[in-house]
């Protein structure tokens, strides 16, 4: 039985409307089929940090890092892109090997994964995948902000675009 998205579970999430967001970062195409993303995504995050991508992104508007899930070829069981990126003010300069995307304005259900990472984040995504949310698949993202850092006690907000 799918977890029901109701006001009774409101402590777990909030609903907000958000304007479009410009981002620049690096892109990975992957899929959840055969646990491929479980293999790909940690290596991709390592690349982001080892290659110091954040410092190479021009025109950042803050220090947050986003994990953007976009360009879904269907639902969450089909291929999609993960872009590890930062919010930017302009696309005037896009470094070689990076991509620019606009996260569309949308209504989002926002979940906060809190605790030991990456376990709590994976638990949050499991909840989303098994819920009855009316997802649009136009762009979902995680925000790694000031409350992220201590792997034993971190917070990551997960934004899921919905109808």
Per-residue pLDDT, 5 = 45
∠ at Cα 59 (80, 83), nearest 5°? 10
Q: What's the confidence (pLDDT) of residue 2? A: 52
Q: What pLDDT was estimated at residue 12?
A: 66
Q: Which CATH number fits domain 21-103: 3.20.80.10, 3.30.70.380, 3.30.70.260, 3.40.50.720?
A: 3.20.80.10
Which pLDDT does position 150 carry in this prediction?
Answer: 84
Q: Are 106 and 18 in contact (CB under 8 A)?
A: yes
pLDDT at 109: 97
Residue 39: how many CB atoms within 10 A of its CB? 11
Residue 7: what pLDDT?
39
Q: Which residues of 145-161 are buried (b: 16+ CB within 10 A; e: fewer)?
A: beebeeeeebbbbbbbb
Which pLDDT value is given to residue 87? 98
Domain extent listing, the chain: 1-11+107-163, 21-103
pLDDT digits (tens), the chain, 163 positions: 455 444 334 346 899 999 999 999 999 999 999 999 999 999 999 999 999 999 999 999 999 999 999 999 999 999 999 999 999 999 999 999 999 999 999 999 999 999 999 899 999 999 999 999 999 999 999 999 989 988 789 999 999 999 9
Cα–Cα distance measured from residue 149 to residue 157, given in angstroms and rounded to the nearest whole number: 13
């Amino acid at each position: 039985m799918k977890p029901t998205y109701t006001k009774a579970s409101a402590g777990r999430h909030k609903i907000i409307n958000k304007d479009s967001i410009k981002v620049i970062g690096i892109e990975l195409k992957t899929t959840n089929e055969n646990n491929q993303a479980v293999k790909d995504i940690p290596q991709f995050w390592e690349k982001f940090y080892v290659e110091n991508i954040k410092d190479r992104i021009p025109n950042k508007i803050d220090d947050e890092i986003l994990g953007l899930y976009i360009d879904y070829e269907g639902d969450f069981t089909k291929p999609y892109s993960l872009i590890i990126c930062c919010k930017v003010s302009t696309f005037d300069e896009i470094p070689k090997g990076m991509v620019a995307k606009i996260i569309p304005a949308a209504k989002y259900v926002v979940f906060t994964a809190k605790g030991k990472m990456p376990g709590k984040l994976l638990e949050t995504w499991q909840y989303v995948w098994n819920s009855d949310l009316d997802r649009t698949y136009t762009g979902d993202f995680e925000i790694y902000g000031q409350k992220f850092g201590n792997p034993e006690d971190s917070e990551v907000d997960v934004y899921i675009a919905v109808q």
